[in-house]
Amino acid sequence: MKYLSTRDKSVRLSAAEAIKMGLSRDGGLLTPETVPTMGEAFLQSLISAPYPVRAAKVMALYLDDYTEKELLSFAEGAYGADRFDTPAAAPLRKLDDSTYCLELWHGPTSAFKDMALQMLPRLLSAALEKTGEDKTACILVATSGDTGKAAMEGFADVPRTSIMVFYPKDGVSEIQEAQMVTQEGANVGVCAVVGNFDDAQAGVKRIFSDEAIRETLDRRGVFLSSANSINWGRILPQIVYYVSAYCDLLRDGAISMGGKVNFCVPTGNFGDILAAYYAKRMGLPVGKLICASNKNNILTDFLRTGVYDRNRAFYTTMSPSMDILVSSNLERLLYDLSGENDAEVRGYMDALSRTGKYEVSESIKAALDGLYWGGYCGERGTSDAIGRYWRGYGYLIDTHTAVAADVLEQYRAATGDRTVSVFASTASPYKFCDSVLSAIGQTPQGAGVGLLEQLHDTTGTPIPSRLAALKGKKRRFDLSAEKSGMDKVVLDFLK
Ligand SMILES: *Cc1c(COP(=O)(O)O)cnc(C)c1O
């Protein structure tokens, strides 16, 4: 199967090449030329399979230049007991007969990014082999908090790779920052950027498209690649857990084969919910895709009006990984919904970069309407939802998950739809102790890692062991730069 650029269909790459490059040279996103299908027999065969087998079988449908055996060995490594604290990797938690929570934070950095970023380095290393690449891959990452740490954890000391992470200086939680600046590994670098996530992401995208930097690095035997969710190797492992959740519901008798399930996803860059869309396109019986935003509700507006308009205030919220105004992965959806019309997508993206705004066609609007429901939850609502779930279910959720939980309730109130629904839980509450403690009526005593114990003592829930280990870890990085200085940071890092 080939991978095409959303902005130019004549760009055709193998899966290994697409994963190696991350982003197409024309700025487009590399996207599979066809969507494979899963029948009932396929799903049936996964019901009693362990998570790594589910992962290998689903991923093999897209990666025909990797063998299923190879993929299984990657998945067993990625989701093994030294990395994930449960063999289920992505367990479902039942709240009531029609409401489940898909816990995606059992990996090494306690955020859902691990689901893909434990897999991507393995896919990329194999891609270097498969394509006969002799250069070193440098992964450039712009992070709103969770991707950076998860990517470094995945790539640390992986041969023939290095990784440089940029995060917004005041846009991440103290625990997130502590996780990043204490990262071990000889091939990692971290830099704070003065600005917000969109500034960091724009800086990284610009470096990618800079010919002069490319040539300089080429002479040094290095090429740039991406671990952001623009890389197909990020989206694909995320499709797996939607399929896995469906299989778990079948196994537990919550639904029968063919029964529909809604997914509600706390959304930022549109990667996670795009993976759910692909699962649906592959034949998974999915009802509505419910797109949950925080106060930065650009996607809610887009899904309701068909107008994407980033000319608006940017808010820093208690769910920082969703503080995004340009959701890159929407481009893949537009490509698919436009009937793979690369010229149309190019038009939208040109308008976005020229005017900060575009309006999709009537046919895309109609398609969006059938597939999605968009809603948002502000700061107060997020905090209230954490308190409500703690008191009502004895279930402690983080600030991002709370947005999804609340928007799912809004959706049900607005539509009366009682279909079995799963909301994604994307981070451990221990990554956001401060907001979570306040939400359950406690006064935080201290800051950062100092709050882990308090949340544990108050709720009796376990502290993820790697977060507990942050206490007393030495800070290794103290670099910061203006947006305009990011080039130099990259060039110095790769000296
Ligand atoms: C990244 C992230 C999100 C948003 O996911 P996207 O794929 O960017 O839409 C939501 N919650 C948490 C905790 C995250 O780290």
pLDDT at 366: 98
Residue 426 Cα: closest atom of ligand 1: 13
Ligand 1 atom 2: the closest Cα is on which residue?
321
Using CA positions, which residue lies closest to atom 1 of ligand 1? 321
Closest CA to 254 of 421, 133, 439, 74: 421
> Within 13 A of 247's CA, how many CA atoms are on the CB side?
28
Cβ-Cβ contacts under 8 Å for 80 (sequence gap 6 or more): none
User: How remote is the CA of residue 495 from the centroid of ligand 1, in Å?
Assistant: 32
Kindly give the distance from the C-alpha atom of residue 319 to the centroid of ligand 1, in angstroms, as a whole number. 9
| Cα gap 492→489, rounded to integer Å | 5
Q: What DSSP character marks residue 449?
A: G
Q: What is the pLDDT of residue 25?
A: 83
DSSP symbols for 56-101 = HHHHHTT-TTS-HHHHHHHHHHHTSTTT-SSTTSS-EEEEETTEEE
Query: What pLDDT score was predicted for residue 202?
Result: 87
Report which ligand 1 atom has the smallest distance to the Cα of 268: 9
Asked whether the beta carbons of 263 and 424 are under 8 A apart, the reply is: yes
Quote the CA–CA distance of 291 and 303 in Å, as a whole number. 9
DSSP-derived 3-state class of residue 246? helix
In the numeric block, the tokens 């503080």 are attached to: 323
Mutational pocket test of ligand 1: of 101, 104, 112, the residue with most ligand atoms within 8 Å of the beta carbon: 112
Q: Which of 397, 426, 430 to mutate to test the pocket of ligand 1 (most atoms within 8 A of CB)?
A: 426
Instruction: Please tell me the predicted confidence (pLDDT) of residue 34.
Output: 96
Can you give the pLDDT at residue 317? 94
Give distance in angstroms: CA of 272 to centre of ligand 1.
7
**Domain 92-110+233-431 belongs to what topology?**
Rossmann fold (3.40.50)
Domain boundaries, the chain: 92-110+233-431
pLDDT at 472: 84
**Nearest residue (CA) to ligand 1, atom 14:** 321
In angstroms, the CA 420 to CA 98 distance is 4
Ligand 1 lining (C-beta closer than 6 Å):
111-113, 146, 229, 266-272, 321-322, 400, 426-427
Residue 105 Cα: closest atom of ligand 1? 13
CB-side exposure of 100: number of CA atoms within 13 Å? 26
- Predicted pLDDT of residue 223: 94
Write down the pLDDT at residue 493: 95
pLDDT tens, N- to C-terminus, the chain (495 residues): 999 999 999 999 999 999 998 888 888 999 999 999 999 999 999 999 999 999 999 999 999 999 999 999 999 999 999 999 999 999 999 999 999 999 999 999 999 999 999 999 999 999 999 999 999 999 999 998 889 999 999 999 999 999 999 999 988 888 899 999 999 999 999 999 999 888 998 899 899 889 999 999 999 999 999 888 889 999 999 999 999 999 999 999 999 999 999 999 999 999 999 999 999 999 999 999 999 999 999 999 999 999 999 999 999 999 999 998 989 999 999 999 999 999 999 999 999 999 999 999 999 999 999 999 999 999 999 999 999 999 999 999 999 999 999 999 999 999 999 999 999 999 999 999 999 999 999 999 998 889 999 999 999 999 999 999 998 899 999 999 999 999 999 999 998
Residue 268 CA to ligand 1 center (angstroms) comes to 5
Query: CB–CB of 56/72 below 8 Å?
Result: yes
Catalytic residue among 9, 20, 113, 149: 113
Question: How far is 491 from 162, CA to CA, in rounded Å?
Answer: 13
* Nearest alpha carbon to residue 30 among 44, 42, 13: 13
Round to whole Å and give the CA distance between 419 and 265: 16
Q: Are 20 and 137 in contact (CB under 8 A)?
A: yes
Ligand 1 center to 97 CA (angstroms): 26
Q: Which of 235, 237, 229, 241 is nearest to 86 (CA)?
A: 241
Report whether 163 contacts 189 (CB < 8 A): yes
Residue range 285-324, pLDDT digits in tens: 999 999 999 999 999 999 999 999 999 999 999 999 999 8
**Mean pLDDT of the chain, nearest integer:** 96
Query: So what's the pLDDT on residue 146?
Result: 87
Examine the residue annotation and report whether 113 is marked as an active-site residue of this protein.
Answer: yes
Looking at residue 197, its pLDDT comes to 85
**Burial, 466: exposed, middle or buried (Cβ in 10 Å; 0-12, 13-18, 19+)?**
middle
